[in-house]
Amino acid sequence: MSLFAGVSGGAADAASGVGTGRALLELTPHKMAVCQLVQVFAPPAQAGGDVVPPFPFESLAHHNRLGLFLFTLTRSCEDFLEPPLEEFLRQLKAVDNLANGWFCEQLTSSLSALNSPDDLFNFFDKLRGVLTAPEGASAEDVFLDPNSQLGVFLRCCILAFNSMTFEGVCHLLADLVMYCNSTDASYDLAEDEDFNSEMGNLMDADIGSQVGIFDKFHQGYASERHMGESSSALTRAPTSTYYFDDANIFKADDNPTCLRSRWQLEAYLNQQADILEKDPGSVPLNSFNATMTQLQTLAPELHRVQFLQYLNALCHDDYVASLDNLHRYFDYSAGMQGLFGRSVSQVQDIVVGKYESALLCLGNLHCYFGHPKKALEAFAEAVRVSQMNNDDSCLAYVLGAISNLLSKIGISNTVGIISSPYSLGTNIGLGTPLSIQQQLLVLLKRSLKRADALKLASLLSFDHLSLAKFDLKHVQRPLVSFGPNASTKLRTCPADVIKNLRLGSLVLTDFGADVLSTSNDNGSFSTSWLRNLSAASDSWRRSSKNTKKLHINDFDDFHYHAQPSPVPAPILQLAGSAYLLRATAWEHYGSAPMVRMNALVYATCFADAASSSELSLAYVKLIQQLAVFKGYSAAFCALKLAEKKFPSSTSLHIQLLGMQILHERALHRGHLKVAQQICDEFGVLSSSVSGVDIELKTEFSVRRARTLLAAKQFSQAAAVASSLFSTCYKYNMQVENASILLLLAEIHKKSDNAVLALPCALASQSFCKSFNLDLLEASATLTLAELWLALGSSHAKKALSLVYQSLPMILGHGGLELRARAHIILAKCHLSDPKFSVLEDPEAVLDPLNQATEDLQALEYHEMAAEAYYLKAMAYNHLGKLDEREEAAARFKDHVTALENPQNEEDSLAY
């Protein structure tokens, strides 16, 4: 029976390198220590050997645990430098608990006994017996499969030793002496309690501290190379780029024989790219570039260093540096280290995959810096070159990038940019020009079709999510909008949105189905496994103290605690984006519980793989729910915690959220100067380029109109809202137009012009029905009820029926302000109805008003609270309850005074 047979994941590639005439890896003392443990794990095979695990293993689970530990050691890429002996022994003790330190003692004694070149020869000669099946071996005999991961590792080490000159063997022996002497000669294993506290300190240490080799880096994604790649790529490099020290980053006295191989170095670079995405603010621009420059000097063939510098400049908004590094990367690499992992020949790599990939990155760069026209020009050229070179993968990605650009950046006309034989064209054969939304839909469907045909799972998931966003905000009108077969359906379809969201999250299922048949672990998973190894040591130690039975199977407990997620972070990001988009969709549809649930799922299950921007967006959604349903005090408490995790200087989402809540509170308190100051800050944050930051500009205009409305400058507020409506109509932002029309109706209503307000409210309600904005539709229905009341008491019945129509949605999903407003309008309808008598049914008026005043207390909404207490005073007056009437009147006066004469306005900027 072969141990670990079939888990090599590239063993054939490693074995094929034997004929190249050079060693497959650099032989180091650390690798010899691993070889010694492999020999303990799989001793020389004997015919007819017993299946029971050999001494000193207590159970099969214990035996398998050491094998899993050795497997991860041969695949990890935690750092450039290999761990010293002391650190290695600490890791080994986590799996050596049941053997009472026998592994550590055996390892140190075996390595100390190697005192001469003859000892080294005998050591590697003995290793050959581990790989050799005895004569007459049957399927039941236990031996190490030479083609397994551990078998290939032993073969590479043996080959490296056989390729050494005598001088090299002497150097190896000297390095081995230094390796064994790196720890105290009287080294003794710490007690359990000391080990627990020390390992806990290591796991909780700050990222920037240089405590140990295996506690410095987050897990990353290794490049697609096997560990058996040529050792000529071994490179001296710093142990961490988190701790940027301008002096002595590269020490000349580092031991060059204890360095990682090239594929591990490339995996480290991918780790840094992941860090730049998750938390770019933690990486200094100049220090990082200095480190990468020195690394590039030592390893000129690693062109990904230049791409990493491009990403760093991009994260720090340095347009010139990012453009220069992007050009330099593609000039030097010639596309041979492409972005899509295409398996083509080396000759084709120089021609195919360079120019179109460079254009794709260039378009993304222009899109990031707010140059939509330049981005579209680069994407259009990338489409042409991809089609000319039959590069279907790149073409699919370019189409996805174009659709992403058109959905995020407002562009009213693309004629002249995306209008050529190699793109969409401007008509459908009937002389009808395609709108920007129709072009976007066609692009999304083309990209989706290509991704499905090419089995690009990540792009397929991205396209499904993009289609879900499109279906959420756009009514899909047919290209042929006339004739007997023309569709009359002008509504979005929530079922299509949910379907695409589910298909987008299936990337996890697809990965899970293929993970057993394809090997995609290039070191990052094993690295994370080693880092999390100590998390399970306490549970093993407790179980070993409680019982000493030989065959206790505690492997499940070990597996549960120590194993990290094998799913790559990009896959988790896509799956998490589906939940984040679900939360956004339920925000549109008006289901507050579903918003909270999906945001919590994302923040809980996908936080490790999420970028800081997306994770902060999930926090924003949760804090917004707190502000709407619990009031500003609870929201500000949560906002303080979020700012500690995401500083406002680095997270635009958190900064905008704080400004939004402060603006709302200032308006409710009547602090108009503070509200105007915050509103101006919104205007400063947005870009001056047309079509860029269109959502932020819309937010600014809405806040400005509401501030003018609170200041009773109705004509100016109406002008701002009308201009905003035209802008949103120009960019086909129909969902935003629904709320803008409702704001216009509110402005006309407060200016006592109900006749002008009615068309706006009806149009807003129509938009809400088309886009299934149920909660906003309920708010528009309340506005219609108020307008009917403003037209006279004869319309009280009509207004009351509209209120009852909207109450189920509002009471089930509405926030404090919307519920209070509904209760106040309900009381006004009863009091305005000439046929209603307060004496006969006082609870119909007082109960809603009491609930409204209770809800408004948390919001500090003086204007609406004053209206509620005014209505309560009227109701108590009808009932003849003078004391309650005077109390309500006093509260009414307090709120009016606070609104008209605001005090301590500077307090509205603090929380």
Cα torsion angle, 31, 34, 36, 39, sign: negative
Structural tokens at position 679:
């509103």
8 A C-beta contact, residue 832 and residue 613: no
- Across 127-194, the runs of DSSP E, i.e. the strands, are 143-144
Tokens 């509200």, located at residue: 675
**How far are the Cα atoms of 42, 50, 220, 249, 618 from residue 1, in angstroms, in the given order?**
12, 11, 34, 49, 50
End-to-end CA distance of the chain: 67
Rounded CA separation 777/799 (Å): 15
Percent helix, strand, coil in the chain (nearest 5)? 65, 0, 35
Rounded CA separation 816/854 (Å): 9
Rounded CA separation 60/63 (Å): 5
Best CA proximity match to 457, nearest among 499, 507, 512, 400:
507
Report the 10 Å Cβ neighbour count for 493.
14
What is the residue type of 479? L
Rounded CA separation 765/768 (Å): 5
**Rg (the chain; Cα; Å):** 34
Q: Encode 667-701: b = buried (16+ Cβ within 10 Å), e = exposed.
A: bbbbbbebbbbbbebbeeebeeeebbbbebbbbbb
The three state secondary structure string of 202-251 is HHHCCCCCCCCHHHCCCCCCCCCCCCCCCHHHCCCCCCCCCCCCCCCCCC
Structural tokens at position 904:
């301590």
| Rounded (10°) CA dihedral 684, 686, 689, 694 | -150
Question: Residue 3 is inside which H or E element, if any?
Answer: strand 2-3
Rounded CA separation 95/145 (Å): 23
The pair phi, psi for residue 804, each rounded to 5°, is: -60, -30
Report DSSP state, residue 83: P
Rounded CA separation 766/741 (Å): 10
Rounded CA separation 59/61 (Å): 5
Domains recognised in the chain with CATH numbers: 29-134+141-182 (no CATH), 281-340+351-415+435-477+490-510 (1.25.40.10), 785-910 (1.25.40)
Question: Residue 2 is inside which H or E element, if any?
Answer: strand 2-3
Q: Encode 283-298: b = buried (16+ Cβ within 10 Å), e = exposed.
A: bebeebbebbebbbee
The pLDDT value given to residue 79: 52
What is the residue type of 542? R
Cβ contacts of 533-536, under 8 Å, gap ≥ 24: 533/69, 533/91, 533/94, 533/95, 533/562, 534/94, 534/199, 534/200, 534/202, 534/203, 535/203, 535/561, 535/562, 536/94, 536/560, 536/561, 536/562
Best CA proximity match to 96, nearest among 461, 544, 470, 480:
544
Question: Residue 275 is inside which H or E element, if any?
Answer: helix 262-278
Rounded CA separation 175/162 (Å): 17
DSSP string spanning 727-746? HHHHTT-HHHHHHHHHHHHH
Alpha helix positions (H), 74-116: 85-95, 102-112
For residue 517, the number of C-alpha atoms closer than 13 Å in the C-beta half-sphere is 5
The three state secondary structure string of 5-37 is CCCCCCHHHHHHHHHHCCCCCCCCHHHHHHHHH
Best CA proximity match to 353, nearest among 365, 366, 364, 337:
337
Best CA proximity match to 36, nearest among 147, 140, 130:
130
**How far are the Cα atoms of 27, 36, 403, 723 from residue 522, in angstroms, in the given order?**
20, 23, 32, 55
Report DSSP state, residue 411: -
> Cα–chain-centroid distance for residue 561?
24
Structural tokens at position 297:
């000097």
Report the 10 Å Cβ neighbour count for 237.
24
Contacts of 833 by beta carbon, 8 Å cutoff, 6+ apart: 793, 796, 797, 800
Rounded CA separation 801/808 (Å): 13
Best CA proximity match to 424, nearest among 460, 407, 404, 399:
399
Structural tokens at position 846:
């007082």
The pLDDT value given to residue 485: 54
> Cα–chain-centroid distance for residue 499?
22
Consecutive 10-residue runs of the chain (911 residues): their mean pLDDT?
A: 39 38 68 86 59 62 77 66 79 66 80 87 86 61 74 86 88 87 47 38 33 30 33 35 36 42 67 75 79 78 81 85 85 55 34 70 85 86 84 81 74 45 37 62 84 84 88 70 55 88 80 44 55 46 41 35 57 87 92 93 87 89 94 92 80 90 93 92 81 84 94 94 91 88 95 93 93 94 94 91 94 94 94 89 92 90 93 92 93 91 77 75
The three state secondary structure string of 778-838 is HHHHHHHHHHHHHCCHHHHHHHHHHHHHHHHHHHHHCCHHHHHHHHHHHHHHHHHCCCCCC
Tokens 């050691």, located at residue: 73
